[in-house]
Amino acid sequence: MWIFDSYYKGCVELWGRENGLIKASAISLPSFYMHLKDPHAHREMIEALEDLYRVEECSFRTIFGAFQGYRVFAGRKVAEKIEIQTRYSAELYNVDVRQDQRYMAEHDIFPCGGRDESRFSPDFEVPINGMEVEVSGDPSRPGDFSCIQVLNGKKRRLEGSERTVVSDFLELIKSYNPDLILLPYADTWVPLMVRKARRYGLDPTISRSGWFKPMASKSYWSYGKVNHKDGALIPEGRVLIDTAKSFVYQESGLKGVLMASRLSGLSPNLASRFTPGTLISSYEVFEALRRGVAVPFRKRDAESARTISELRRCDKGGMMFQPEPGVYEKVHQIDFTSLYPSIIVKYNLSPETLEHPKIDGFLSTVLSSLLNLRIETKRLKKANPEYKGIDSVLKWMLVTCFGYTGYRNAKFGQIQVHERITAISRELLMQIKELAENMNFTVLHGIVDCLWVMGEPISKYKEAVEQETGILTEVDTFDWIAFLPMCDGSGSYNRYFGRQDTGEMKIRGVAARKGDTPVYVERMQTELFAVLAGARSREELSMVKPNALEVRAKYMRELEDADINVRELAIHRRVGRLSYSRRCAEASAVQSYEEQGLNPAPGMKIGYVVKDAGRWEVETEEMASEFDAAYYRKLLEKAWEEVAFVFKPAGK
């Protein structure tokens, strides 16, 4: 059975396709493992558990070896009471794993694939039927449903009164009965539609059973900033993907979502809504369950207190070489392929191997399959763009696998592993830098996993790097590249752009790449880069300067004449908090949202247009009608200065 939906509702429910639609149910009792260092000290608690629940003495495996203990057939609430009763001395495992994920792992099946195929194959059939839907209206201010467009072989437009539109749409879903619905802002529109359907006495057929699993909205910290996750209603027996809000879908498309589901053991509904970090963590949990390895409930090997001298000896960061600002010709960028995961695999890094390096580490073993698949899809996508989505989701999962080794709550992470990875990466970058200099290459810049060099032949250097490090690399060649300066005149580590020998521009760290740059400013800079793409050398760059100045003048003129769409000047930023101690644009934007009855939450992205920069008066993106021309002229000028750096004479 090709499973496309799974969940636990008293029993494991699986929906799939096999000569038609199938719904299967399986009994799977929640249970967890318990290890007590001194069972006799907790004899009364064990006897009480035996009176209330099924309890079995057993041996179970962890990544650190076999433990003697008990299997308790109960849920999380009981486990939490055990923690309190034992003053958190009890070591508990498999408490918070998903029951449907656990069932599939134990029965050697997985979502979005057949039993006889490999989860790690990039070539798989998708036997489900789908429907694309678009709801007219502003999702930030959802009102009545007046128009819904459905693409189901042919485009259909549903219009009329709200009751008619909702009724026709739900009836269309019932008659066509799709397994998959692709809908921008689905997590905004669907809860509203379900409420409206029930108000009108209609059957909410978006779910095949009428039951929905709610996901609560929440604000959370990640990598030092606040993020916000919207709530959702997950339908039963159908895949619903919010194509506008799903990071995984936007980065990798449907095939990427399905591959993430295959690897993690999660339904596509969840795989499309989770972050790459959650996906890699779920993948590790699924692999552990498949291998009969117990998953710890609470992390017990997080970073402990260390002295300043110990911290100084630790190696927590990646290596970077600071470039000299300037424009350089005939430059090669050599990148390690998935450097950090490659280090984990090559050096057999895992919490249990730090003291026992001879054993096969859990992390290195499970990431090896993922890394091999990434190497394969990276090769395949060069000839066939259909593999780009799968390659993209693998890239993001592997990128986050390193961060999770140092995450305090990671099930299979440890800070010492994290530090060892970065230490090795620094050694490797120094190693290939010295190798380049010994081969008479000039090193211009380096960031963690890549190096920019000048010299020939690059193929010989690439071969030497791979032979010496044992890690695959890729090379991009630039006709010219500009490393931009920082405010103090020294070279910036992460702001550069250049023309590759393919004719395409590669840009990093400039206005056009920043999420809070207004569309109008971004468009000007993008046009400027298109002009620069016509220059193959530094000499030709000076020849295209008049064309670049024309682009700048056009945008400045349109801004002065107010001949633009004001919404294109909107600045989009995530708000870190809702109260501010000083006047600023974000504080005014939050106030404007609240005055309009909208309730921003920490981590939520909001859009606003600056009306008066002197007093920090702003208007929300949807209501904006005026703008501070002087303020936006400065943004245009700043974006122009980034590009105009290439026109400055050498040495200035």
Q: Is 71 helix (H, G, I), strand (E, B) or coil?
A: strand
Contact 272, 266 (CB under 8 A): no
Cα separations (Å) of 626 from 301, 617, 622, 636, 637? 55, 11, 12, 17, 20
- Alpha carbon distance 480, 347 (integer Å): 36
- Alpha carbon distance 417, 4 (integer Å): 36
Its pTM stands at 0.91
Q: What is the mean pLDDT of the chain?
A: 93
CA count, 13 A, side-chain hemisphere, 520: 26
Is it the case that residue 450 has pLDDT exceeding 80?
Answer: yes
**Backbone φ/ψ region at 58: left (φ over 0), alpha (ψ -120 to 50), beta:** beta
Q: What is the helix (H) or strand (E) element at residue 633, kind and residue range?
A: helix 629-644
Average pLDDT over residues 308-314: 77
When pLDDT is cut at 50, 70 and 90, the band that residue 651 belongs to is: low
Q: Is 20 helix (H, G, I), strand (E, B) or coil?
A: coil
- Residue spans of the domains in the chain: they are 2-106, 130-281, 320-378+407-509
Instruction: Encode pLDDT of 243-278 as tens digits.
Output: 999 999 999 999 999 999 999 999 999 999 999 999
Q: Is 444 helix (H, G, I), strand (E, B) or coil?
A: strand
- Alpha carbon distance 651, 39 (integer Å): 74
Contact 509, 493 (CB under 8 A): no
**What is the number of other CB atoms lying within 10 angstroms of the CB of residue 108?**
8
Instruction: Encode pLDDT of 382-440 as tens digits.
Output: 999 999 999 999 999 999 988 878 776 788 888 889 889 999 999 999 999 999 999 99
Instruction: Encode pLDDT of 355-379 as tens digits.
Output: 999 999 999 999 999 999 999 999 9
CATH superfamily of 2-106: DNA Polymerase, chain B, domain 1 (3.30.342.10)
Residues in contact with 109: Cβ distance below 8 Å, sequence separation at least 6, in sequence order: 1, 3, 115
Strand order in the sheet with 491-500: 320-321, 442-447, 450-454, 326-336, 473-485, 491-500, 505-508
Residue in the block written with tokens 């760059």: 541
218-224, long-range: CB within 8 Å, 24+ apart, which pairs?
Answer: 219/601, 219/602, 219/603, 219/604, 220/603, 222/275, 222/277, 223/403
584-590, long-range: CB within 8 Å, 24+ apart, which pairs?
Answer: 584/616, 585/610, 585/616, 585/618, 587/616, 588/616, 588/617, 588/618, 589/618, 589/620
When pLDDT is cut at 50, 70 and 90, the band that residue 576 belongs to is: confident
Q: What is the pLDDT of residue 652?
A: 56
- Alpha carbon distance 186, 169 (integer Å): 14
Partnered with residue 68 across adjacent β-strands are: 59
Tell me what percent of the residues of the chain surpass a pLDDT of 90: 80
Average pLDDT over residues 319-334: 96
- Alpha carbon distance 229, 211 (integer Å): 22
Tell me what percent of the residues of the chain surpass a pLDDT of 70: 98
- Alpha carbon distance 201, 141 (integer Å): 24
Contact 522, 495 (CB under 8 A): no
Select 320-378+407-509's CATH number: 3.90.1600.10, 3.40.50.300, 3.20.190.10, 3.40.50.720. 3.90.1600.10
- Alpha carbon distance 635, 616 (integer Å): 16
Instruction: Encode pLDDT of 88-137 as tens digits.
Output: 999 999 999 999 999 999 999 999 998 889 999 999 999 999 999 999 98
Residues in contact with 522: Cβ distance below 8 Å, sequence separation at least 6, in sequence order: 511, 512, 639
Q: Which of 631, 604, 618, 647 is nearest to 231 (CA)?
A: 604
Q: Is 638 helix (H, G, I), strand (E, B) or coil?
A: helix
Select the more confidently predicted residue: 305 or 73: 73
Distance from the Cα of residue 143 to its chain's centroid: 31
Q: What is the pLDDT of residue 305?
A: 77
Residue 215: phi and psi, rounded to 5, are: -115, 125
Partnered with residue 134 across adjacent β-strands are: 149
Residue in the block written with tokens 């291998």: 291
Q: What is the pLDDT of residue 538?
A: 93
Average pLDDT over residues 133-153: 89
Top CATH class of 130-281 equals alpha beta
Contact 626, 619 (CB under 8 A): yes
Average pLDDT over residues 282-292: 97
Q: Which of 209, 240, 416, 395 is nearest to 311 (CA)?
A: 416
- Alpha carbon distance 330, 322 (integer Å): 19
CA count, 13 A, side-chain hemisphere, 101: 26
DSSP string, 455-480: -S-HHHHHHHHHHHH---EEEEEEEE
Secondary-structure breakdown of the chain: helix, strand, coil percentages, each rounded to the nearest 5: 40, 25, 35
- Alpha carbon distance 412, 404 (integer Å): 8
Instruction: Encode pLDDT of 620-643 as tens digits.
Output: 988 889 999 999 999 999 999 999
